[in-house]
Amino acid sequence: MCYGKCARCIGHSLVWLAIVCIVANILLYFPNGETKYASEDHLSHFVWFFSGIIGGGLLMFLPAFVFMGLEQDDCCGCGGHEDCGKRCAMFSSVLAALIGIAGSGYCVIVAALGLAEGPRCLDASGQWNYTFANTEGGYLLDSSTWSQCIEPKHAVEWNVSLFSILLALGGIEFILCLFQIINGVLGGICGYCCSRQQQYDC
């Protein structure tokens, strides 16, 4: 198997994961499809950390495109120059993967904190508060308490669903980038393609 083909597969996966992260983060700004909560600053402050847009989204495009560029028809990388193919596999993919790990890690951490704190919502006292902030995430296991949030409607479900998506996708991105570090190191040590004969065949 050519290490570049594996990297390219990871790159394509990261692109789609990044797009979904961006969409999920954007949706957090519009509970129930309404814009007034963002304009009136009634959203969780973790929404404004842009974890899905920047961490799990834009930062992931760099490693994704680097990984996709490693695999060419000739299996040599670096625009087809055989003498630098191994260096590209070793350095560019590993360094790019580290950027991906940083971005996905940021996305995971912020999403986890957002889930633990819960949404900012209007409670029975008529105040906008983080109603579940003191539950240490316990509210996630007790849906009967979610009705304490009066407005936005279904605020808890909205936050839990989207932050959970960001948490899961960020975790997948982290694993893929970690795998590419191993793949890039092996590709640099063993050669861009697993065998000299495969290079000729390509």
Tens-place pLDDT, residues 71-84: 654 444 445 555 45
Give the tens place of pLDDT for each residue, 30-72.
Answer: 998 899 999 998 999 999 999 999 999 999 999 999 888 876 5
Tokens found for residue 152: 């936005």
Q: How far apart are CA 24 and CA 173, in angstroms?
A: 15
Count Cβ atoms below 10 Å from residue 12 Cβ, excluding itself: 13
Q: What is the pTM of this model?
A: 0.86
The total number of structural domains in the chain stands at: 1
Per-residue pLDDT of the chain (202 residues; tens, 9 = 90+): 467 788 889 999 999 999 999 999 999 999 988 999 999 989 999 999 999 999 999 999 999 998 888 765 444 444 555 545 556 556 678 999 999 999 999 999 999 999 999 999 999 899 999 999 999 899 999 999 999 999 999 999 999 999 999 999 999 999 999 999 998 887 777 755 444 444 444 3
Which structural domain range is residue 69 located in? Answer: 2-73+82-123+130-200
